[in-house]
Chains A and B, each alone.
Chain A
């Protein structure tokens, strides 16, 4: 089954802990993205990567870290420095390399709650 798989679907974090959200895609897409969604809000970009071993900060990168060691994987770590991490996290991917914009597809999301 092709697509973008995020895990876990639900995650609880204690204060001061780092947690890692997994994102795997088998679409052979070049680019991958992480967005954060708060209730009643739009999607805000955390990090993105257009090629393996390279990534860029988005609008709200503070308190987060990523890696892109493999084309199909783009894990997001929510560190203890992120003061308000409770949110819905969305991973996405797309082709890269044209000038007209490529369709971005989303995973089903991961809910992170601080307890």
Chain B
């Protein structure tokens, strides 16, 4: 089955700097890669996703890149703000199988 590895597990950045979180996956059939943001005590919220026919997708300060050959995808947050502090999860799935999640990255943005 699918296995998703996520790095780093914790990340601290200064406000205004960029943050990058990386994930690798094992199943070459996976074709959908969402990123979720989870605040303390709440359910994960989808922030951006990418499908395998696209290499990069951007939404304001957030971008995701996908390298299918290397089986890795990354989340990029530019001009970080304190409200970006949260736990971020990557995930992967093939077709309509359930999502498989990475273990999460705790991002702290220091003002």
Query: What residues of chain A have their CB less than 8 Å away from a CB belonging to chain B?
Result: 4, 6, 31, 33, 35, 40-45, 48, 50, 58, 90, 94, 96-109, 111
B contact set with A: CB distance below 8 Å: 6, 31-32, 34, 36, 41-46, 49, 51, 89, 93-96, 98-104
By CB atoms of chain A within 10 A, which of B46, B49, B51, B101 has the most? Answer: B101
On whether the beta carbons of B93 and A103 are closer than 8 Å, the reply is: no
A-B contact pairs, 18 of them (CB 8 A): A6-B43, A33-B98, A41-B103, A43-B44, A43-B89, A45-B99, A45-B100, A58-B98, A90-B43, A90-B44, A97-B96, A99-B31, A100-B32, A102-B96, A103-B49, A106-B45, A108-B43, A111-B41
B96 close to A50 (CB less than 8 A): yes
CA distance A9 to B41 in the complex (A): 10
Contact of A31 with B44 at beta-carbon distance under 8 Å, contacts A43-B89, A100-B32, A101-B51 already known: no
Nearest residue in B to A91 (C-beta to C-beta)? B43
Chain B residues whose C-beta falls within 8 Å of the C-beta of A48 in the assembled complex: 98
Closest-CB distance, B40 to chain A (whole angstroms): 10
Q: Kindly report which residue of chain B lies nearest to residue A99, judged by CB atoms.
A: B95
Q: A42-B89, A58-B98, A101-B93 are in contact. Are A109 and B32 (CB under 8 A)?
A: no
Once bound together, how far apart are the Cα atoms of A35 and B44, in whole Å? 11
| Distance (whole angstroms) from the CB of A8 to the closest CB of chain B | 14
A75 to B46 alpha-carbon distance, docked (Å): 23
In the complex, the answer to whether A109 meets B98 with C-beta atoms within 8 Å is no
Instruction: Identify A109's interface contact among B42, B89, B101, CB under 8 A.
Output: B42
List, in ascending order, chain A residues with CB within 8 A of B99's CB: 33, 43, 45, 104
Closest residue of chain B to A30, judged by CB?
B96
Q: How far is the CA of A101 from the CA of B34 in the complex (A)?
A: 10
Please list the 10 inter-chain residue pairs (A to B) with the smallest Cβ-Cβ separation, ordered nearest first. A101-B32, A106-B43, A42-B103, A42-B101, A43-B101, A108-B43, A109-B43, A106-B44, A48-B98, A96-B96
Query: Nearest A residue to B32 by beta-carbon distance?
Result: A101
State in angstroms the CA–CA spacing of A109 and B36 once bound together: 15
Expressed in whole angstroms, the Cα–Cα distance for A98 and B97 within the complex equals: 11
**B44 proximity list for chain A (CB < 8 A):** 43, 90, 106
